[in-house]
Structure 1
Amino acid sequence: MKHVFFFLIALLAAVAAQAQGVLKFEQELHDFGNVPEGTMATHEFRFRNVGNQPVIIANVQASCGCTTPDWTKTPVLPGKTGIVKAVYSSAGRPGIFNKTVTVTSNAATPSTVLTIKGNVLNKDQMKATLTPAQIAQSARLTVDRTTHDFGKMEAGQSLVARFTVKNTGKQDLVLGAITSQCYCVGYKNAPAPIKPGQSAVVELVYNQRKLGAQAETVTITSNDVTGDTKLTLKAQVVQDLNAGSMVKESGASVPFK
């Protein structure tokens, strides 16, 4: 009887060991090839749970701060699919890159390493690799104006400038990083790709603490191979604004609070 008991225990343990989720990725390496500098190189690694229990991804850790991961947060049931997304910021990083993201889950194999690689080229290098026909088929960024004047603003106040960006090219326009000398300009929201012939409002947040007349040159990178876009943000920055002062936000006067 004792032998039967131990046999049943061993059998249950074996069954329990087999009752696990299993992540099967379509690929564990993605090569972007040549990437225009300034773009956000993005790839989704797709997987299926080929096991018999739900899989929960606990964390996805990138090997560097230049890569931002995202993933399916809900449990992935047996037979269902999910994604792990890796976004590589190429702004200011010319040359070859090889980065990893490590996926940790409750699957039978608790840790999986995914790899992205490519070669970041500046605009001149990128154009040199393309034929005239390919250049003609690329994305094109046009903007409704190149200057925005906030007028008088208080030091440390965050104001928003809105620019209308149109894609006059033949591929999706992907906006990349923003650079400026003051490090005081950024996107209010991450801009989505703009389809050919379509326009979108891009909001830039400006937060300047330096007093006096300011004129900040802002560079917006994109996958437009003809070059980056430069904008100028102007403001008269003062220490304090009294309650009756008016400041300009995105071309419209609003009371300061």
Structure 2
Amino acid sequence: MKKILFTTLLCVMNVLFVIAQGTAEITFEKTSYNFGSFSESSPKVTCKFKFKNTGDGPLVIHQAIASCGCTVPQYPKEPIKPGESGEVTVTYNGAGKFPGHFRKTITLRTNSKNEITRLVVEGDMTPASADINQ
């Protein structure tokens, strides 16, 4: 009987602790970025997605998964306090890829009110031979 009472009390305390911390909410300035046109001779391009924790609890980004190995996201590993900002840096490397239009997604898994957020990067990589004609 004492074990059941102790376990119940422990569960209630955990729930109250989670409620007291509040809920995080991630708000991005924008969720898509277009690199425009860039040359195959300089195939690596980078952008930053700025966000703010607009909730009342600490924000944790658990995971950032790109739709392709040619796209690499970097994100803060430490919790973001309510009212504070951060950024996700995304690098696309078109080396070894065919020139043309691309569109890649980065899926963020967080403890935010909306657990999943998708970021999109796109652009047009032009053939290196086009550089000679200009």
TM-score (normalised: structure 1):
0.42
1:33 aligns with 2:36: yes
Q: 1:114 aligns with which of 114, 119, 125?
A: 119
SS in 1 for 2:96: coil
The structure richer in strand per residue is 1
Query: Of 55, 59, 67, which aligns to 2:59?
Result: 55
SS of corresponding position for 1:125 = helix
Query: What residue number does 1:254 align with?
Result: none
Matches for 1:105-254 after TM superposition, within 5 Å: 105-126=110-131
Q: Choose which of 75, 79, 82 in structure 1 pairs with 2:79.
A: 75
1:98 is matched with which residue? Answer: 103
Q: Which has the larger radius of gyration?
A: 1
Answer 1 or 2: higher relative contact order, Cα 8 Å, separation at least 6. 2
Distance 1:52 1:72 in 2: 18
**Which of 9, 16, 24 is the equivalent residue of 1:21?**
24
Tell me the secondary structure at the aligned position of residue 64 of structure 1. coil
Where does structure 2 lack aligned partners over 5 or more consecutive residues?
Answer: 1-15
Q: Which one has the bigger helix percentage?
A: 2
- Structure-2 residue corresponding to 1:247: none
Deviation at 1:18, TM superposition (A): 9.8
* Structure 1 runs (4+) greater than 4 angstroms displaced: none
1:87 aligns with 91
How many angstroms does 1:84 deviate by? Answer: 1.0
User: What CA RMSD, in Å, does the superposition of the two structures yield over aligned residues?
Assistant: 2.2
Query: What percentage of aligned pairs have identical amino acids?
Result: 35
* Cα deviation code 1:3-60 (max 9, x no counterpart): xxxxxxxxxx9xx499201100011000000021142111111100011001010010
> Does the aligned pair in 1 maintain the 2:21–2:57 contact within 8 Å?
no
**Aligned residue pair count:** 116
C-alpha distance 27-46 of structure 1, shift in aligned 2 (>3 A): same
The letter of the residue matching 2:127 is N
SS at match of 1:84: strand
